Amino acid sequence: MGKLEIVGGLKKEVHVLLKADKLAEYRLSLTQVADELGKSGDNVAAGQLKDKQREFSLRAVGEYSTLESIRNRLVSFAGGEVSVGVGDLGEVVHSQQKELTRAYHNGRETIIINVFRQSGANIVQVTDILKQRIATINAALQDKKEKITLRLVGDGSKEIRDNVWDVQETIIIGIVLTVIVVFLFLGSGRSTLITGLALPNSLLGAIVLMYLFGFSINILTLLSLSLAVGLLVDDAIVVRENIFRKQEEGMPSARPHSKVHAR
């Protein structure tokens, strides 16, 4: 998963309420206090770690974990020799951000979490993993008797799955119609069986090669397979029909070995 986007809901926020008389007493400005808090409250990127399948972003966590850690943050005087804690300059309290967005589902106010895949990731695999995570989180919420439920309301992989199934269905229908047409035109169960077995054997060989070269089952590869099935059917029918015609003319299935005498 590459990015999460939250729509709706109220996000928690920490407010630092500074007192003007305290700032004047210690000869500090709002900008100085904000800069000092920002310097030690940032998460700094520390590089990336990759393996064959995943990519991890490393960071040095510097954000504040408690209100007390913010209160104890020291801010220097103008001279720089003496420091004072942020808690001595005002109050540090929990609050909420200003509401910027609001989301509804089926007429009820809710929170929508948009999940975006990483570039190059398989959206079908990401969706399957997301469904598993949703089930795990819902089970944990039920154990804690929380009144919160996660639901999948939008699935970007549905159209892809439908397209893949459509191509698979087309391949299956093509194979069935091919077997029927061969049987109707040749009238031979043996010829029909030989032609019919050529199709799954060729598809199986193609899938094995796809696996060895790292190709996945997607719309493009399935369209390629359907095109290959059409070419294979055409060639198989021509060859088998020619063999069938030669046999009807009396040609044996296998020619006897000719003998050569050397003198």
Q: pLDDT tens across 52-72, in order? A: 777 777 776 667 778 888 888
Mean pLDDT of the chain: 77
Strands 90-96 and 83-85: unpaired
**How far is 67 from 73, CA to CA, in rounded Å?**
10
Whether residue 206 contacts residue 228, with contact meaning beta carbons closer than 8 Å, is answered with: yes
- Residues contacting residue 182 through CB under 8 Å, at least 6 positions apart: 191, 192, 195, 196, 237, 240
In this structure, what token pair is assigned to residue 208?
């094995």
The residue ranking higher by pLDDT, 255 or 169, is 169
pLDDT in tens, 182-237: 788 777 777 777 777 777 777 777 788 888 888 877 777 777 877 777 677 677 77
Q: Which percentage of the chain shows pLDDT scores above 90?
A: 0
pTM exceeds 0.75, yes or no: no
Position 228, amino acid: A
Cβ count near 64 (within 10 Å): 16
* Res 62: pLDDT: 63
- Of 70, 111, 65, 105, the closest CA to residue 87 belongs to 70
Task: List C-alpha distances in Å: 85 to 17, 21, 130.
Answer: 13, 15, 44
The rounded radius of gyration (Å) of the Cα atoms in the chain is: 35
How far apart, in whole angstroms, are the C-alpha atoms of residue 179 and residue 162?
Answer: 26
Q: Which two tokens stand for residue 150?
A: 């996660």
